[in-house]
Amino acid sequence: MRAAAPGRFDGMTTIPVFNPATGDVVAEVPAGTAADVDRAVAAARAALPAWAATDPLDRAAVVGRIGAGIAARTDELAALITAEMGAPVSLARTAQIQFPVAVAQSFAALAESFAWTETLGTSLVVREPIGVVGAITPWNFPLQQIVSKLAPALVAGDTTVWKPSEIAPLTARVLAEIAAEAGLPAGVFNVVYGTGDVVGEAISAHPGIDMISFTGSTRAGRRIGAVAAETVKRVALELGGKGANVILDGADLDVAVTHGVAMAFTNGGQVCGSWPRLLVPAHLQEEVVARAVAVAETYTVGDPLLETTMIGPMASEQHRDKVHGYIERGVADGARLVFGGPGRPFEKGAYVRPTIFADVDPASAVAQEEIFGPVLTVIPYRDAEEAVAIANGTNYGLTSGVFGPDEEARAIARRIRAGQVDVNGGHWNPLAPFGGYRQSGNGREFGRFGLEEFLEVKSIQL
């Protein structure tokens, strides 16, 4: 992919947006500045009193209309996501769009049953908007990540300043249009394009912002937390992951392996909640590996515009190089390569070969560090105690899965130190809390727990 120097747009410096499948520049967005953040914060603060005073059910109705507006523009939004970060168009139309629609609808419905006030003894406990929320989101699910923050913030009565990823910023304009058409007042939702080291830093440090909600890498989360601490603002961080798929004796291997490969390869493995580690009883490793390879062979890699494509390019050439470096590292460190491996599958585009390693040392780099690509590591274990130790043996704790007899699988799930554990392929629930332990972050998204992140609590003593 060729480099492109920043251009100019109405007197502003611009950032090129690349199509990772072709290397072509498909758009340019303004490179925002700290002064742009100041203006956005001023607009958000001016809009805050009226929006905070709006009845929660009326705020929720706007959020519901935003969800409906996203659904109505599915094809347009999916095409933008495919162009900017390479998600296969079939995935872009489904998960990349349906998830944010479901999240918006769930928060819209929650407002009516939520306990905005409650009486505790002689005290009235009141939940109020926290104020102006700074939202900073990544490129892997560009629409889902902002709606997961915007929907609860709006229902809570907050106003927002959002920095989308400069790699995948194209859906931001459409979402802003949808929000305006849904009846959101001016100043409640503000978008500032730009880079993390300029716009992200300015949002994190701004004294006019009361809360930061960030999704992205653990490294960036540490920096945001440090900068935000200077103004003692609330910080909610949804960071990296290194999920484990623990297969127990007695598991349905067809279901466990098929689901596990999907949880490692979907969206090209560029999912913080993926399961890149497959833990299997040592005596079942060869059978599981054979099944995993057979499933992986069905994952078509190619042009993300084709309906048959299941894995497109990585979101950028820079990220492709990172993922490819880990594949080379796995080979060099002695993991047994059973599928894929180093090298480009095509001459053009930010593609890697989906890869499976077996006999992986749980202390190795490919088993410990977040690769964020289609790389599955099969790790054998001796017994349940060792399986739990390996599952908990990274710095992360975001998601994991367990497959096996129900009672045993549930018992193992309770011992895994992660914010979400699926048992035998449990379904995603937009009302259940999502977030991490340890260096996977703090705070929770979705449902009542996600709404509470954006609220302050006041005690009125009677």
Active site residues: 238, 272
Distance (Å) of CA 178 to CA 109, 155, 183: 19, 16, 9
The 3-class SS string of 137-158 reads CCCCCHHHHHHHHHHHHHHHCC
Radius of gyration of the chain (CA): 22
CA distance 433 to 445: 6
Q: Which amino acid is at 390?
A: I
Distance separating the N- and C-terminal Cα atoms of the chain: 65
List phi, psi (to 5°) of 455. Answer: -125, 145
Within 373-418, residue ranges assigned H as helices are 384-391, 406-415
Coil, helix or strand at residue 180: helix
CA distance 225 to 235: 7
Residue 372 gets the label, from left (phi > 0), alpha (psi -120 to 50) or beta, of: left
Within 250-316, residue ranges assigned H as helices are 253-265, 285-296
Q: Tell me if 136 sits within 8 A of 196, measured CB to CB.
A: yes
Q: Which amino acid is at 239?
A: L
Which strands, in side-by-side order, build the sheet including 8-9? 8-9, 12-18, 25-30
- Count the alpha carbons within 13 Å of 168 in the hemisphere toward its beta carbon: 27
- In 228-311, beta strands by DSSP E: 234-238, 244-247, 277-281
